[in-house]
Structure 1
């Protein structure tokens, strides 16, 4: 008996039910297929590709310690898997279930050859549904239903042995995929990350030191108070239930963090129910909203040149490191949609390309939440004031780190140097005033109503 283990966003040996099932039955051929055709507009973004390169290398190294290896192929995923089955005479394909629309289509096309396992959520998605058996579209209801099933099951240990086939199929060379960045002045700070399961272990240990004060510190961008698990979770180097139990073992249990972990599961349910959620407003009436086509404003936002220091710091952090502090993500996203009145999909796609943790469900649901266009979202008329947010969450040192033009300004002046009368010539004026932007956004919202 020989089985393929089809790997996607589940690049780990621990708590890997597809791998455990295949190894228990016979020889195993772990396979990763880089398919840039099936997702269409949602091909893997540039920052994710950097992470993917290092994560695949780390996984192959781990597999080789177990007498196995990772087979790489590129092209349409269903055709690639069928080719490997024909080459090896494999009897089955095992995989962890995914909820992105292109993965669901591929799973359906593979049919009876494919055995699917649950493993990327706190609980199997089919168990957390409404009374009608449908995925939840409101988080509070989802959280209530999920909470009744927690804690999650204990994670599975990695297989002690991963039986090898008599003959390995051919594999692409990872370097030939050219996943690493070529854009100038980009990704200079990606060295803060350690992709792979070793990086997960380090992140868990680091978070254990701050987790007790997570609810307060998570909103302070100048403080290292967040978990930074998101890219590891997105690429499946760790499962949510592994995170849950690992933190419990370390005495770190925080209600705010638990809800954020559950939010990732919730967003999978939203895109399961509404596969085009990343492209279409969750509330169709917002199709009438008069978005502005303003390429210069969009570029100023992307490059961190809006004249609002907290927004610019976040966008520059994103460009350099592939990640942005969660509180600042909300501020920056709200600024694009409400202050600049630019379609949320423009921001969503920028994040998709530049975030190492860009997740189809999480990214789309978060953008629609801040935009007010989603099925469970903030009100469109609720407009975050970036200058107030910057002062409230003590972002002065964060701004100094990412906007060096303002480094010498005082804590009082740095949030709004233009009003304070000390804006350096090297730093741009505000792209639009807060009051003017707010009135324009509210007028646009009235058109929708």
Structure 2
């Protein structure tokens, strides 16, 4: 091949617009888009992409969409398996590539892969450039006055705003140069990313992975974003953006999200709804900031006092929680919705995490692992930050004495019981007064609704009052340990 090429390594940036690595590569005569499936259990694959069945399902469809978009512009996606360094070096030799471009990942495993690949390819004489493509600002650029990382969200958010969130957005490239037919890759179907069982068959009713799907979802949400502060906590309403999986896989960038909101609502930071939504974009940034500066928190408590907490880790409680069979209706509805859709409302995530870690005294890492296995937005920084926040073990954490009452949470955020009735249909005929705590209902009320506790629906696996007191006692015992 006589014309030099640049390899564009797609990873957590499965889009064409506002893609810094792709945009920079287009300065060369040819580009070769590549996606590399790393070996099972490798650093590159262990933090979400190949970890859970739900995220694998999404990846299959997102790669298919990316390849379709590339082909529509005259190019195509080369898919190969193997260690990234070896695959990139081999492809560079095949194509006479003179450079490799990619957008940086900021999870511990992604950082380790970046460093190793960059060093190896440069030692082989192949120029490498990495770019900031997944966040508004990278963690080393948002520090406090002492040059230290933020551990509390509100000052971090103010610092992020001071750094600037109105950032330029790169255009959608069109057309793209063709990839030589001599360069071969595997089919996406051959990767075996789709589950062998039928549990994910319903996902397509909820999701449209890919760049176009991300924008369809976002534009639909923008119609109601001004009411976001009122609807974002309601379990029974479609009041959130549901952009998290699209952002995780990089089908839309946070720069694009902010720019689109600000174009539609120039005073977005002064409006309750749009400001609340932009803060959620900031929370995603904060999660990446925490995991970058404190990589040990992927597996360890940030607050070391919690190393002394006597977790119970009752296996029966864990299984009941996973299967939505706890006997607490709002918990069971949320966990069943997760299994059926691959996603969970953020308010529900807090409720079920509080119940598991505090009422059941199950180690937050067990819950975090289940989420990483079952969420289509299995994003390691956000998941870790969220679980440590609820458990009280992390940065900006909820106080140890904050224990969500799932009955009150259900009554407040699913006031008509629509969410519970949808996902726990065996309770659908209960009146509202009995729906949120059926164990307190009169026997005749249960009988008229066809509910038999312990038979058609479980008895609660824990007593909420007693388990709350037990958690407070456990947390009180570790208060005096040195932070």
TM-score bracket, normalised by the shorter chain, equals over 0.9
Does the 8 A contact of 1:15 with 1:242 survive in 2? Answer: yes
> Which digits, 9 at most, give the CA deviation of each residue in 1:135-183, with x for residues without a partner?
3222122111111133421211022332234455221111111111224
1:71 aligns with 2:78: yes
The partner residue of 1:141 within 155, 158, 161 is 155
1:208 aligns with 2:229: no
Does the 8 A contact of 2:18 with 2:253 survive in 1? Answer: yes
Q: How many Å separate the matches in 2 of 1:282 and 1:190? A: 37
1:434 aligns with 2:464: yes
Q: For 1:340-379, what aligned pairs fall within 5 Å after superposition?
A: 340-379=360-399
The residue aligned with 1:239 is 253
1:174 aligns with 2:195: no
Residues 3 and 205 of structure 1: is their aligned pair in 2 closer, same or farther, counting only changes over 3 Å?
same
Does the 8 A contact of 2:46 with 2:109 survive in 1? Answer: no
Does the 8 A contact of 1:37 with 1:75 survive in 2? Answer: no
Does the 8 A contact of 2:54 with 2:200 survive in 1? Answer: no
| Structure 1 position 187, deviation (Å) | 5.0
The residue aligned with 1:8 is 11
> What is the aligned-residue RMSD (CA, Å)?
1.7
The partner residue of 1:47 within 42, 47, 54 is 54
> Which digits, 9 at most, give the CA deviation of each residue in 1:53-72, with x for residues without a partner?
00000000000111111011
Does the 8 A contact of 1:33 with 1:74 survive in 2? Answer: yes
Q: How many Å separate the matches in 2 of 1:206 and 1:91? A: 42
Secondary structure of residue in 1 paired with 2:295:
coil
1:307 aligns with 2:327: yes
> Which digits, 9 at most, give the CA deviation of each residue in 1:351-407, with x for residues without a partner?
001000010100001000000000221112211100011111134100011100011
Q: For 1:412-423, what aligned pairs fall within 5 Å after superposition?
A: 412-421=433-442, 422-423=445-446
1:403 aligns with 2:424: yes
The partner residue of 1:22 within 8, 20, 25 is 25
1:323 aligns with 2:343: yes
Which is further off, 231-240 or 86-95?
86-95
The two structures have a TM-score, normalised by structure 2, of: 0.89
> Which digits, 9 at most, give the CA deviation of each residue in 1:190-218, with x for residues without a partner?
42100011111211221022211100100
Q: How many Å separate the matches in 1 of 2:169 and 2:53? A: 31
Residues 101 and 124 of structure 1: is their aligned pair in 2 closer, same or farther, counting only changes over 3 Å?
closer
Which is further off, 344-353 or 416-425?
416-425
The two structures have a TM-score, normalised by structure 1, of: 0.96
Q: How many Å separate the matches in 2 of 1:62 and 1:134? A: 42
The partner residue of 2:312 within 292, 295, 298 is 292
Does the 8 A contact of 2:139 with 2:293 survive in 1? Answer: no
The residue aligned with 2:271 is none
1:443 aligns with 2:473: yes
Which is further off, 46-55 or 144-153?
144-153
Does the 8 A contact of 2:287 with 2:385 survive in 1? Answer: yes
Structure 1 residue ranges without an equivalent (≥5):
none
The residue aligned with 2:135 is 121
Q: How many Å separate the matches in 2 of 1:256 and 1:63? A: 35
Q: How many Å separate the matches in 1 of 2:465 and 2:54? A: 35
Q: How many Å separate the matches in 1 of 2:466 and 2:407? A: 14
The partner residue of 1:38 within 37, 42, 47 is 42
Q: How many Å separate the matches in 2 of 1:187 and 1:130? A: 47
Q: How many Å separate the matches in 1 of 2:186 and 2:7? A: 16
For the pair shown, which has the larger CA radius of gyration, 1 or 2? Answer: 2
Which is further off, 287-296 or 125-134?
125-134
> Which digits, 9 at most, give the CA deviation of each residue in 1:57-111, with x for residues without a partner?
0000000111111011112222222222222221111111110111111111122
Secondary structure of residue in 1 paired with 2:276:
helix
Residues 308 and 282 of structure 1: is their aligned pair in 2 closer, same or farther, counting only changes over 3 Å?
same
The partner residue of 1:110 within 110, 117, 122 is 117
The residue aligned with 2:164 is 150
1:258 aligns with 2:272: no
Q: How many Å separate the matches in 1 of 2:128 and 2:93? A: 15
Residues 387 and 269 of structure 1: is their aligned pair in 2 closer, same or farther, counting only changes over 3 Å?
same
Residues 143 and 186 of structure 1: is their aligned pair in 2 closer, same or farther, counting only changes over 3 Å?
same
Which is further off, 67-76 or 78-87?
78-87
